[in-house]
Amino acid sequence: MLQRWQQWNRKAILWLWVIAIIGAIAALPIGMNRMDMEASSKSVEYVFDYRDLVEISDYQARPQQYIDEQLNKMKAVGITTMSLYESSMKELSQSGRLKYYNSKDIALLQNKLEPVGQNFSYVLFSGPQEEEQIGPIVREAMDRAGAVYRPWSFDGRNGLVIELPLQEVLLQPMDFDPMTLQSLHDKGFHILARFSDRVLPYDEAATDAQLARLKEVGVTRVLFDGATVKGYKDQFELRSLNSFAELLNKYGMGIATIENLKKPQSGINKLAFITNYNIVRLYSLSAEDAIGKSPEVLTDRFLLAAKDRNIRMFFMNAGVQTSTEKSAVVSGLDNLYITMKGKDGLVQKLTDAGFSPNLAQPFDVKHPSYAKPLKMVVAAGAVALIALLINVFIPGTLIALFLIGLIGAAGLFQINSALAEQALALGAGISAPTLALVWVMNRVYARTEGSLRTVGGTAWNGRAGTAEEGKWIFEGLTVGRRLGLAITWFVVTALISLMAVPFVFGLLNNITYSMVLQQFRGVSLLHLAPIGLTAIYVLLYTGHSPVRRLRKVANMPITVFMVIAFVVIAVVGMYYLSRTGNEGSASSLELTFRNWLEQTFGVRPRSKEFLLSHPLLLIGLFLALRYRVAWVFIIVGSIGQLSMVDTFAHIHTPLYISIIRVFLGLGLGAIIGLILIGVWQVLEGVWRKWSPGLIRKITE
């Protein structure tokens, strides 16, 4: 019975590979649907923070004239949209709508003594128009705060006395400045309304009226200021988040989500869902970068964001710096204008790349009827791939693993579909590269030491090892034969590793991943697990039985060299992980090199693939057929196999970009690898020719 079970499991290896291949093929239509979605939105919107412009104008002799001049310049260079925050007393003062004072200031203005026991706030409107349009939003804010206020006038101007300390009045959120809204609209700018969740409690009627006013000046999209979206804080009691989302739908307004926040704004996922993902991604350029980075660096950064990260809104900030050399206050506006204008400017370069300036549009998300059944086939293929990997380490369990995996996956989909998709995608992402590395190590081992095993874990000829085990140099294969085998194994290894890719984009096809509202977890595990599992396989499963190998390893004495090696590997591993995922950092030199690659190839291949991993894998396979020590090159080269899969785990990157990046990296890496093999052969020939005489001279 046991023998028959083992036979069934051996036959099941082929069938599970067939299921895995079918699963990968089933994912292709899902991938095509995603590519259609990614091609549905190509316009980009250039937004400037109007608050920054007002603050910069404070340093000018004629603030309002300066604002008008800069608005004209911005429109000329391609900035089409102004971001406007909800107002505050400070911003209204900076905009020239009103002036505010405390009791001490008013006493000085009136040449009186400061009132004893009184700390009120005083507001004077700049004129009748300001009193008519700004007065209501000031009174509305004071009513929310429960403040007592009354009319007041001074020097022919009307205002209010508010029985609150000025510090508290300045903190009160107010409605959008209607005069600024209308002025920007009349100048031809679109408005990006920036809401906060500081107006509490949430008032549905007031918000409805607010959005109606914004709709009149052409607002089509909103952005949020702070850690939460509007309506989040009162959601439990008032269902305010649902209300705000429904009002956005009523007025045809979408939302924008900011890239690379340390923590996503609370409530953004629910808001995106209720608004049917009428959402675009926004990149925010800091004021420091606007003034400190060169136009070339800024242009490359924006181009990469649009091409590689599905960014459709560029939010530009600017600040001021004091320059002792110029004896003046310098802002970042001039640098932004130089960056954007002209035939070599940012706007033209993005237009040439297919990203024309216009209002940012959300992706057209389609849900074809075939997607759900195909996804079930993809899930079954992922389970098959995972079962094949486990069977490598626990032979004879393949059928049971596959059946248990199917049942477990079905149950997890019922409980939490997103968790099930990510778990299967991660499992497939680990399994395919590991199976590829196990396969190629078996091929190397079979051509050198002679033990033949399959990736399913069963010996082809039943031998546990040969008398040649332990040799460091292997003879018998010509250079041409080694080169042919190395190239063939390099290609097959890459193809097996890339089997994971359809499972990643086939399972993680929800728009939430493209918008980074939800992220694929486990990238660090994806980078480490295949290397660790392959090392365990080589250590325990090649040659003698795993138990015998484990006993041999356990009885090995620990040396100083082993301790040092462990520390070095740990440090390298930590650095390797620090460079993976979305949190990796790069030096300025590396950034310059990346920009050169982008300009040269249009799509930047990953440096660690084509400069390091792929060349080392190819030359490692070539050398390992003669030198055992060359196995270390294969281990380092295996990083490239994992990196290829990881490229597709960055789901916010358009799928076609990832495909080009991976195959460009493979092609360039293979070329560099072949060059390294040629150099090695030359050096080896020189060594063989001259080493006998050199050794003889040394010994003499």
Q: What is the mean pLDDT of residues 496-517?
A: 94
Please give the average per-residue pLDDT across 148-171, as a whole number. 93
Q: Please report the pLDDT score of residue 8 as a whole number.
A: 77
Q: Is the pLDDT of residue 558 over 70?
A: no
Q: How many CB atoms lie within 10 A of CB 251?
A: 14
What pLDDT sits at residue 466?
A: 41
What is the residue extent of each domain of the chain?
Answer: 41-86+180-362, 87-174, 424-694
In the predicted structure, residue 419 carries a pLDDT above the cut 60: yes
Question: 12-33, pLDDT tens digit by residue?
Answer: 899 999 999 999 999 999 999 9
For the segment 292-299, the average pLDDT, to the nearest whole number, is: 89
> What phi and psi, each to the nearest 5 degrees, are found at residue 228?
-130, 155
Strand positions, DSSP E, 265-317: 279-285, 311-316
Can you tell me the mean pLDDT for 122-149? 95
pLDDT of residue 590: 63
Contact of 646 with 522, CB cutoff 8 Å: no
Q: Give the Cα separation of 257 and 16 in Å (integer).
A: 42
Q: Which residue has the higher pLDDT, 552 or 498?
A: 498
* 585-602: average pLDDT: 66
Quick one: pLDDT at residue 467? Answer: 36
pLDDT of 618 over the 70 cut:
yes
CA angle 138, 143, 145 (to 5 degrees): 95
Half-sphere exposure of 689 (CA within 13 A, CB side): 6
Q: Which pair of tokens denotes residue 385?
A: 């791939």
Q: Which residues contact 60 (CB under 8 A, 6 or more apart)?
A: 66
First to last CA, the chain: 70
Comparing 236-245, 516-525, 540-549, which segment has the lowest mean pLDDT?
540-549
Coil, strand or helix at 353: coil
Determine the residue type at 14.
Answer: L
Positive or negative, the CA dihedral 350, 352, 355, 356 is positive
The alpha carbon torsion through 496, 502, 505, 508 (nearest 10 deg) reads -90
H or E, element range at 438? helix 417-448
The Cα diameter of the chain in Å comes to 110
163-193 per-position pLDDT tens digit: 999 999 999 999 999 999 999 999 999 999 9
pLDDT at 260 over 50: yes
- Distance from C-alpha of 244 to C-alpha of 254, rounded to nearest angstrom: 11
For 174, the 3-state DSSP assignment is coil
pLDDT of residue 468: 44
Residues 6+ apart with CB under 8 A from 644: 433, 494, 497, 498, 501, 609, 662, 665, 666
Which residues, other chains included, contact 95 with Cβ-Cβ below 8 Å and sequence gap of 6+? 54, 177, 179, 180
What is the model's pTM?
0.85
Is 115's pLDDT higher than 50?
yes
Q: What pLDDT shows up at residue 574?
A: 55
**In residues, how long is the chain?**
700
Torsion angle defined by CA atoms of residues 449, 528, 583 and 272, in that order, rounded to the nearest 10 degrees? 120
Distance (Å, whole) CA 147 – CA 617: 73
The average confidence (pLDDT) of the chain is: 86
Identify the pLDDT of residue 9. Answer: 80
Q: Three-class SS of residue 700?
A: coil
pLDDT, tens only, 436-488: 999 998 898 888 876 544 444 444 333 333 434 456 788 778 899 999 999 99
pLDDT in tens, 125-138: 999 999 999 999 99
pLDDT of residue 527: 79
Predicted confidence at residue 475, as pLDDT, reads 79
Neighbours of 410 (CB within 10 A): 14
Tell me the H-state helices in 541-654.
546-554, 560-578, 588-601, 607, 614-624, 631-649
Instruction: Give the per-residue pLDDT at 1.
Output: 60
Give the list of residues 6+ apart from residue 38 with CB closer than 8 angstroms, or none: 310, 363, 514, 654, 655, 656
Report the percent of the chain where pLDDT is more than 90. 63
In the chain, the percentage of residues whose pLDDT exceeds 70 is 86
Q: How confident is the model over 390-415, as pLDDT tens digits? A: 998 888 888 899 999 999 999 999 99
pLDDT band at 587 (very low <50, low <70, confident <90, very high): low
Question: pLDDT band at 533, cuts 50/70/90?
Answer: confident
Who wins on pLDDT, 609 or 598?
609
Give rounded-to-5 percent helix, strand, coil for the chain: 60, 10, 30
For residue 90, what are the CA distances in angstroms to 255, 270, 345, 613?
26, 33, 36, 56
Which amino acid, one-letter code, is at 71? L
Report the alpha-carbon distance of residue 50 to residue 68 in Å, rounded: 12
Query: d(Cα 572, Cα 591) in Å, to the nearest integer?
Result: 21
Q: Is the pLDDT of residue 375 over 50?
A: yes
**Alpha-carbon distances, residue 317 vs 93, 255, 505, 608 (angstroms):** 21, 19, 35, 34
- Give the Cα separation of 607 and 149 in Å (integer): 65
Higher pLDDT, 687 or 649: 649
Binned at pLDDT 50, 70 and 90, residue 551 comes out as: low
Token code pair at residue 70: 């800069």
Q: Please state the rounded mean pLDDT for residues 532-538.
A: 81
CATH architecture designation of domain 41-86+180-362: Alpha-Beta Barrel (3.20)
